[in-house]
Amino acid sequence: MGDKVYFFDTTLRDGEQSPGASMNTAEKLRIATQLETLGVDIIEAGFPAASEGDFDAVKQIADNMEKSIVCGLARALPNDIKICAEAIKGAKHPRIHTFVSTSDIHLEHQMQKSQGEVLEIARESVKLAKSFCNDVEFSAMDASRTDPDYLCRVFEAAIDAGAGTINIPDTVGYAIPEEFSQLVKHIIKNTPNIDKAIISVHCHNDLGLATANTLAAINAGARQAEVTINGIGERAGNTSLEEVVMSLTTRPNFFPLTTNINTKNIYSISRLVSMITGIIVQPNKAIVGANAFAHEAGIHQDGILKNPMTYEIMRPETIGLNTNKLVLGKHSGRHALKSHLLDMGYNLSDEELNIVFKQFKALADKKKNLLDEDIEAIVTEGILRTTDVFRLEYLHVTSGTTVSPTANVGLSINERPVEGTDSGNGPIDAAFNCIAKLTRTQSDLLRFSVSALTGGTDAQGEVTVRLREKGLTTLGRGADADIIIASAKAYINGLNRLDYLKAHPVKYKV
C-alpha cells in the first residue's frame, strides 16, 4: 500500500450518463486534454462497444493523450473487449476496464447465472483483455451489495488472470462510510494476492455519501479513486473529483498521501465541463460552487478581512479561482488573447485562434470588460460547435406591449441557408417556434433556465434548455450579451445534440 492516490476520471463515460449530458467527439477531446493538464492519472474515455460515436471518441482521445492512461470500458464479453482493445490501441498508455455483476440480486435477476459461472466469466474476460493490453482493470459491479467472501474469490481470480487494478463499485450508492471502509479492509485481509493489484473504488451519490465513502475507502487502503468533474453522472451522480482532491490537500494530517493533481486547474475544468454539458453547478456546491468562497454574514466578513483562514479552510487561489483576474477589452490584441487562453489551459491552433479572436472582438464591442467566463463561452461557441448541423446566422425579433411577438430567423442547415418567420407568446417563444419550423423538429421543451456568466448589467446571459424528442433527452446551452440570442443558441445547441444522438444510437448503457 503506497502513499500515492491515483485519480481515475470517468467524466467522459459515467459522467456522460447524466440525463441529457451527451457530448460530441470534439467536446470530449477538449475535456480530455484539460483532464491531462489537471494531472488525472487515468481517463476513462468511454464505452467503445456502446456506439460508433463512443468508439470514435475513445480512439481520438487515445491517439492524442501524452501522459494520462487512456481507458476504455468493456463488459465481460469477448466482443466488447475486442472492440475496446481496437479503440485504445493507439494510446501511449492504454488500459482495458472490464466488469461483471457479482451481487446476488444482479446474478439472479440480471445475469441468471451462478456465483461459479460469474467467477469464471471474470477470470476469462480479464485473461482475454490481458492478451490485448498489459494494463487491465476489473470491476465487480454492485460490489457493496455482494457477499464479501465471494467478492474476495472473484478478485483473487481476476488478479491471477492479470488484473493490475481491482475496483470495488458502490454501483447504486448503497454503502455507508464505516461499512464501506470495513469492506475494503476485509478484501485486503482475505484476498491472498491483493498485494499484486491496486484497489480502486467507484462510488455513486444516491445517499449523498459518495465523497465520504471514497475517503473512507482511501483511509482503509484503497489507492485509486474513480471520480467525475462536478460529480456528474448517472442518477444522483458520482464522487466529485474536486471534493476528494481538496479533502486530501486540506487535511494532510489525516491523509498523509500525495496526488498528481494540479489543484489550480480545478475551477477552469469545472467551468468547461459545465459549459459543454449544460449542467449548471449548484451555487452551494462544495469547492467549485458560486457560493463556495462567498461570505454574507457580518461576523464572517469581519473575520475574513482580518485573516482569511478564520472562515476559509482553503484559499480560492488553490483551485484557480483568482479574484484578481486579467481583464481583456476591445483594445487587447491577438497576442494578449492567445497568452491568456494558454493561462486558461486552451492551446489553440492558429485557425482556431482566428475564430475566437473574431468573436472576442465582436463581444468586446458590446461589453466593456471580458472576464474568463466570457472567453470560455467564446471558445465553446466558436471552436467546439463548428461541425454542428444547425447554425444560427441571424435573429431579428419584434415584441412589445402593443405588437404581436414575431421572430425572423436565418439558419444554416448542413451549410445550406434557410430563413423564416413565426410568432409566439413572447420573443423567445416566437424564435423557438421559427427554429422548430425551419429544422422540421418536434422536440418538447422540458426546462428553460437563465443565469449570468459574470456580474454587471452587461453580463453575458447563459441559457440552458432541456429537450426531449422520441425518447431522447438532451441539454442545450447558449451564451450571448443578448438573452434572446442566447436562448436561440441554446435551443439550436440542444437540437444539434439530439441530431447527434439520433446519428449515434447507444446500443448498450451501463
DSSP per residue, 328-389: B-TT--HHHHHHHHHHTT----HHHHHHHHHHHHHHHHH-S-B-HHHHHHHHHHHTTTTT-S
Strand 472-480 and strand 461-469: pairing? Answer: antiparallel
Confidence of residue 332 (pLDDT cuts 50, 70, 90): confident
DSSP 3-state percent helix, strand, coil across the chain (nearest 5): 45, 20, 35
Highest mean predicted confidence (pLDDT) among 193-207, 325-339, 387-401, 487-501: 193-207
Q: Is 240 helix (H, G, I), strand (E, B) or coil?
A: strand
Predicted confidence at residue 282, as pLDDT, reads 86
Which of 150-154, 304-308, 385-389 is predicted with the least confidence, judged by mean pLDDT? 304-308
pLDDT of 333 above 90: no
Span 73-115, pLDDT tens digits: 999 999 999 999 999 999 999 999 999 999 999 998 888 999 9
Residues sharing a CB contact under 8 Å with residue 171, sequence separation 6 or more, in sequence order: 141, 142, 143, 144, 202, 204
The pLDDT value given to residue 91: 98
Q: With bands split at pLDDT 50, 70 and 90, how would you rate the model's confidence at 384?
A: low
For residue 302, pLDDT over 60 is answered with: no
| pLDDT, mean of residues 269-273 | 91
Average pLDDT on 281-307 reads 64
Contact 61, 29 (CB under 8 A): yes
H or E segment and range at residue 321: none
Q: Which residue has the higher pLDDT, 20 or 207?
A: 207
Query: In three state form, how does the secondary structure of 242-289 look?
Result: HHHHHHHHHCCCCCCCECCCCHHHHHHHHHHHHHHHCCCCCCCCCCCC
Can you read off the three cell numbers belonging to residue 145? Answer: 451489495
pTM for the whole structure: 0.85
Of 327 and 364, more confident? 364
- Lowest mean pLDDT segment, chosen from 273-277, 393-397, 441-445, 466-470: 273-277
When the pLDDT of each residue in the chain is averaged and rounded to a whole number, the result is 89
CA distance 314 to 246: 8
Question: Using an 8 Å Cβ cutoff, are 158 and 119 in contact?
Answer: no
> Average of pLDDT values for 378-403?
83
Rounded to an integer, the average pLDDT of 110-124 is: 94
Three-state SS for 419-430 is EEEEECCCHHHH
Cβ-contact 443, 494 below 8 angstroms? yes
Which H/E stretch holds residue 33?
helix 25-38
Note the pLDDT of residue 82. Answer: 98
pLDDT reported for residue 34? 93
How much is the pLDDT for 322?
64
Does position 381 have pLDDT exceeding 80, yes or no? no
CB-CB neighbours of 110 under 10 Å: 12
pLDDT category at 303 given cuts 50, 70, 90 is very low
Q: Say if residue 300's pLDDT is above 50.
A: no
Over 50: is that where the pLDDT of 64 sits? yes
Report the percentage of the chain scoring pLDDT > 90.
63
Q: Which amino acid does the sequence have at 250?
A: T
Q: Residue 11: what pLDDT? A: 97
- Considering only 84-88, 262-266, 386-390, which range has the smallest mean pLDDT? 386-390
Q: Which residue has the higher pLDDT, 262 or 1?
A: 262
The fold of the 390-503 domain, in CATH, is: Double Stranded RNA Binding Domain (3.30.160)
- Would you say residue 152 has pLDDT above 50? yes
At 211, the pLDDT band (50, 70, 90 cuts) reads very high
- In DSSP terms, 38 is beta-bridged to none
- pLDDT-derived band at 236, boundaries 50, 70, 90: very high
Superfamily of segment(s) 6-277 = Aldolase class I (3.20.20.70)
Name the region of 191 (left: φ>0; alpha: ψ -120 to 50; beta: rest).
Answer: beta
Q: What are φ and ψ of residue 94, in 5° steps?
A: -85, 155
Task: Tell me how far apart the alpha carbons of residues 41 and 366 are, in angstroms, rounded to a whole number.
Answer: 41
The b-or-e profile of 22-34 (16+ CB within 10 A means b, else e) is: bbbbbbbbbbbbb
Q: Which amino acid is at 356?
A: V
Where in the chain is CATH 3.30.160.270? Answer: 390-503
Whether the pLDDT of residue 145 is over 90: the answer is yes
Q: Residue range 117-125: average pLDDT? A: 97
Among candidates 387, 388, 375, 391, which has minimal Cα distance to 275? 375
Express each pLDDT in 218-234 by its tens digit: 999 999 999 999 999 98
As annotated, the residues of the chain forming the CATH 3.20.20.70 domain(s) are 6-277
At 310 the pLDDT is 52
Average pLDDT over residues 347-357: 82
User: Which triple of cell numbers denotes residue 336?
Assistant: 494578449
Q: Are 46 and 73 in contact (CB under 8 A)?
A: yes
Residues pairing with 406 in the sheet: 398, 423
**Amino acid 296: pLDDT:** 44
Please tell me the predicted confidence (pLDDT) of residue 500: 83
Q: Is the pLDDT of residue 453 over 80?
A: no
**What pLDDT does 315 receive?**
83
